Amino acid sequence: MSDFTSGFWPWYVAGISIVSILACAWLLWVAGKAVVKTVPGAVSDNTTGHVWDEDLRELNNPLPRWWMWLFIITVVVSLAYLVVYPGLGSFKGLMNWSTEGEHRGDVAQLSADVAPLYAAFSKLPVDVLAKDARAVSVGERVFMNNCAQCHGSDARGSKSYPNLTGPNVAWLGHRNAEHIVDTVTNGRTGVMPAMAVAVGGEAELSELANYVLSLSGSPHNQIKAFTGKSRFAACAACHGVDGKGNKALGAPNLTDDYWLHGWGEAAVISIIKSGKINVMPAQSAILTPDQIRVVSAYVYSLSGSNAVAPVAAAANVAPAGALTVSASSADTSQPAAPAAAARRAVVTPAAAPKTR
Ligand code: HEC
Ligand code: HEC
């Protein structure tokens, strides 16, 4: 109650509080004595003369004493409360209590409680923590509270939100502890500029999109892909001449079978036309460095040796022949997750749903 901007309001609020309590006390005093005035000439049987439901009558007595005392106690307690706790304008109360102070105390207590737990983790590198079952389970809880709303509770992401369980080839950056910690601490912004002007009209866009699809062996129109190839020069600066991407720029590999922003000709044309600015917010203001290391260890553990179980759902399995995850270009330091398992969770309406 110390944030009033003018000296008038604290007194105004305090005045209303005191006057209301005194008015309640006065009302009690009056009501404790008063009886209802009966109609002159009515039978004097000590009832109010009101009749409900044919024969229900009301005795004409003042409020019962015990009941009145309860109210008097309430009035006394509320006055005592205003002396002890903040409530009277800007008066802080004798105990100097505040919600903010209580919250700060709770946070300090909680931090002190978990400090020994994190202390055991703070000396170990993130990739070692990723093999520590306890660190991983603490990290999983941090993930559920802070990351699952975007990356999904299974960390498999959805359209435009990266799947964090895939092998290195499916990642925008290098799937290593450093990249994960850096992304969580500082966030990241993926920028794919709108490129339609550099490409041409609808026909040219369709040809280029078919060429892009051909890179991953996805179903495509071969003639269009052939004519579209030369237009890929505009994309090579970021995605590489061979379309294998550039992790330093965050430009995805277009030759694999992972699609962050949707699969198919329409999705590719759409991103060429509109571009994409994809933001992962920095978490450094929300999480402590120890929490960041532990959640990073959890993420890192997801596609390590204990990789995600293969997903049997038919919607996640691409047709034979179109399954061309390039294990060769994957980071061999980590075993690649089974191709079908690492497929993105988004299901495109096309007959062959292939998603990141
Ligand atoms: C508001 C949504 C949001 C939240 C919350 C969020 N992320 Fe992200 N995250 C994203 C987006 C979007 C990207 C992709 C950014 C890009 O395109 O460059 C991303 C990228 C990443 C990457 C890099 C993936 C790659 O392929 O290189 C990692 C790792 C990551 N997030 C981990 C986390 C963790 C751990 C948390 C929780 C502490 C978290 N994220 C919370 C939206 C979010
Ligand atoms: C300035 C660098 C840059 C250029 C030039 C560029 N891209 Fe991209 N592109 C990116 C980045 C970065 C992303 C990832 C955006 C994100 O983080 O979500 C991306 C994403 C994509 C995707 C989505 C991939 C997926 O997994 O869903 C496609 C398709 C794509 N680009 C095609 C193209 C084509 C075709 C061209 C040429 C017309 C092109 N890009 C030119 C940087 C670039």
What's the Cα-to-Cα distance from 203 to each of 100, 193, 240, 349, rounded to whole Å? Answer: 62, 20, 23, 23
Residue 1 predicted with pLDDT over 70: no
Given a cut of 70, whether residue 241 has pLDDT beyond it is yes
**Residue pLDDT, tens place only, 161-198:** 999 998 898 999 999 999 999 999 999 999 999 999 99
Å from CA of 243 to ligand 2 middle? 10
Q: pLDDT at residue 38 above 90?
A: no
Using DSSP's 3-state secondary structure scheme, residue 165 falls into coil
| Among the listed residues 313, 349, 296, 16, the one whose alpha carbon sits nearest the alpha carbon of residue 139 | 296
Cα 183 to Cα 250: distance, rounded to the nearest angstrom = 12
End-to-end CA distance of the chain, in Å? 52
Is the Cβ–Cβ distance between 84 and 95 less than 8 Å?
yes
| Residue 329 pLDDT greater than 70, yes or no | no
% of residues, the chain, pLDDT over 90? 60
> What spacing in Å lies between the alpha carbon of 110 and ligand 1's midpoint?
27
The Cα–Cα gap between 257 and 244 comes to 11
Q: Are strands 56-59 and 47-52 parallel, antiparallel or unpaired?
A: antiparallel
Q: What is the pLDDT of residue 349?
A: 39
Predicted TM-score of the model (pTM): 0.70
* Residue 26 near residue 56, CB atoms below 8 Å: no
Residue 336 has pLDDT above 60, yes or no: no
Q: Where are the domains of the chain?
A: 1-34+45-97
Confidence band, pLDDT 50/70/90 cuts, at residue 41: low
Confidence tier at 330 by pLDDT (50, 70, 90): very low
Ligand 2 lining (C-beta closer than 6 Å): 172, 190-193, 195, 199, 208, 212, 234-235, 237-239, 249-252, 254, 258-261, 268, 271-272, 276, 278, 356
Cα 180 to ligand 1 centroid, rounded to whole Å: 9
Choose the residue to mutate in 141, 146, 176, 280 for probing ligand 1, maximizing ligand atoms within 8 Å of C-beta.
Answer: 280
> What's the confidence (pLDDT) of residue 328?
36
223, 228, 229, 235 alpha-carbon torsion, rounded to 10°: -160
